[in-house]
Amino acid sequence: MRVVIAGGHGKIALHLEEQLAHRGDQPVALIRNPEHAGDVRATGAEPVVVDLEAVGPDELAEHLRGADAVVFAAGAGLGSTAERKRTVDRDGALLLADAAARAGVRRYLLVSAMGVEKAPSEADDDSVWAEYLRAKRDAEQGVLAHEDLDVTVLRPGRLTDEAATGRVTLAEGEVGHEEVTREDTAATLVALLDARATAGRTLELVNGTVPLTTAMDSVS
């Protein structure tokens, strides 16, 4: 399976690329900074330098042709402005959806965030955090509305860099705002790529007591 990952140098993405390469897939990492290419290659992925804030959907579609799936794991990151929450977390996800549709790639995984359904209005809260939630909410709604895509939204809990546990709670609806490792989040994305029955659904993820394979059986 050829999988193109937007935000290819992010922490979740690097785990995802390594796990995909390990099982024999072909991960492709979209990165903005060419200096990150070496880190990406070390995971077994192919780096492609492209700036999601500067590219158009037709040009991006050329990088997606021949892919079996795309994953949006990009984000403006800590310390970024409210404007970049919109241009990366929202607009980047919508751009990838448009490009995937043009390239004929149906499977789309969107890494989102918990609490987006409760995002306050700009009039009530104009903070960067509130804008982040609104950006993620708008990204979810826009991507899920694409008729040409089979979309699964994954909302992980508080992300940590601890080693994977292999045990999670994965479900539609609220599962609590507990922690989940980035490595377990990546493993869940790998499993979701094969679980097309989850298309059109929004799933929340935290670490738990159930093996990932069992959790996947319960949602797919």
* pLDDT number for residue 76: 85
- Name the stretches of the chain with pLDDT < 50: none
**Helix ranges (DSSP H) in 163-211:** 182-193
pLDDT at position 152: 98
Residue 174 confidence (pLDDT)? 87
Residue 9 is predicted with a pLDDT of 98
**Nearest-angstrom CA–CA distance, 53 and 84:** 9
Report pLDDT for 79.
84
Res 173: pLDDT: 86
pLDDT at residue 32 in the model: 96
pLDDT tens-digit series, residues 37-60: 999 999 999 999 999 999 999 999
DSSP one-letter code for 10: S
CB half-sphere exposure, 133, CA atoms < 13 A: 14
Do 49 and 10 form a contact (C-beta atoms < 8 A)? no
Please report the pLDDT score of residue 103 as a whole number.
Answer: 98
> What burial letters (b/e) apply to 139-163, b meaning 16+ CB within 10 Å?
bbebbbebeebbbbbbbbbebeeee
- Both structure tokens of 69: 């799936």
pLDDT on residue 177: 85
The hierarchical CATH code for the domain 2-154 is 3.40.50.720
Q: pLDDT tens digit string along 19-31?
A: 999 999 999 999 9
